[in-house]
Structure 1
Amino acid sequence: MKPRYERPGVPDGSTFTSFLRCEDSYDFAWHFHREYELTLITAGSGTRYVGTTVERYLPGDLVLLGPELPHTYASSQRSEAAVTQFRHDFLGPDFFDLPQFGAIRLLLSGSSRGLSFSAVPPELAAAVARIPELGPADQTVRLLDVLSRLAEAQSVPVTGAGYAAAPSTVVRDRVDVVCRHLQETHTEPVQLEEIAALVHLTPTSFSRFFRRALGCTLTDYVNQLRVETASRLLTTTSLPITDVATRSGFRNLANFNRRFRELKSMRPTEYRAAHPAATLSAR
């Protein structure tokens, strides 16, 4: 029950790996690795977990995650992603210290909290998506070109300023137990005493631990999970707002509207109206 440490396989003839991840569903599997990870969602939708942040992903979602940053993607439907994983020294130990690569060096440094890129030009997204299809030499040239272009693109940090990547093993194990449990149960009432007991802490000690480890309170994190569940229901069903609130774990409609607006900067009705192309059902 801990975020597994991954060792991405490196194909012969290359110093990094790039692949298409196509699965009928993405299971929650919180993990981390020493490599940077550039992920472009090319099909499907679900939830992206990075550090303390929980966000919905859709086709076109593009993020660069730094080494040792725990993350996972979860969905109940088929999803497809182009993934490229590489170490800082994949072109040599001092390659990015060269003056001409200063912008890329800053990009990689900023990825320690994760970087999400908005309004990515179609040609840049296509370039990222095609990396897995190329041979080793062409992949290397393409990745360097992509990193150079991303260094000039608009991006925002994924995780909050209070989150530190790669906490100690004990902290990481405890956080994973809690996050996995909440991912499965956040639509039900969450009791601090029960959550604290999962990691053998008193409620007071757990509250201090959780805030120090994730940079937010347990309530804030649960609200993120519930709002992302509500976002999915708003864009994939025609359920009334009151039902969306209840199914997401909110027992008070006013609180639901307030929390949703805090995290999404719009009301639930506005959010649904902004996604008219969604396929709706009454389930």
Structure 2
Amino acid sequence: MTKRDIASQDATTLETAPTRYIEGHGIRFAYRRLGPATGTPLVLLQHFSGNIDAWDPAVVNALATDRPVIAFDNAGVGRSTGQTPDNVEAMARDAINFVDLLDLSKVDLLGFSLGGCVAQQIAAEHGQLVRKLILVGTAPKGGEEHLLAVLQDAFSKTDAPDPRLPLFFTTSPASQSSGLAFLKRAKVRQDDRDTDNGSAVTDPQAKALITWCATPDPGHAILRAIRQPTLVVSGSHDTMLPASNAYAMSRELSNAQLVLYPDSGHGALFQHHEMFVSHVRTFLDAQPVAA
């Protein structure tokens, strides 16, 4: 990394980076790019209902100190045009189209929740494109999910300042305090914030996630097709996509490491952001072990 790269990176954060656009395949994709100009880009695949500004700056900015990081809105989400698909396979195709438009020949993927399902599909189908894979708070095809029940419970808590507080964090004082800190960080950006497209995004995304988990995958064909080194991360008390999914994935993947964070829910990567960033850096920087 050159001094110029470092200076450029230091001046740009998720809160200050301009939203860029690139168009192709009938879609105008919105994205932000942080970090140095060189290195294998880490592409972020977002959770159900989330857009670029739903990422935690503490995670994104820290990861971007030593590698390019790209956060983007997939088709129909945020400021990206097009229609949000109702299945994971189409979401994966749209994400691949975005990567192709940026002319990236090799990427690392970080998929959170629904984004983790999309990341699995991409890694299984495009082994030459994906170098390493990070799956956070997600499930394999045919896995266990409680999306609608957890959403209903979270939105019934009308005293919560944001639905993500009961959705992503446990009821312990420590977790709730971390949740409030995350919400504060996520709201720092005031200018050029991403947009919430409501049910036009959440309805098809809910169908995609529920269908993914309800569809059996005999012999775990998708997981078995993923040969890349994979870091699997979960919160110990994830109520939306339980930690049993993470254990199941780590058993079936050929080259996986499993990390389970204590007293944490679906947003474990935001609650334990410093530890998460440290684990991700160690994983991405490690040299592959010769077979």
**Taking structure 1 as the reference length, what is the TM-score of the superposition?**
0.25
- Which one scores higher on RCO, CA 8 angstroms, separation ≥ 6? 2
TM-score (ref. length: structure 2): 0.25
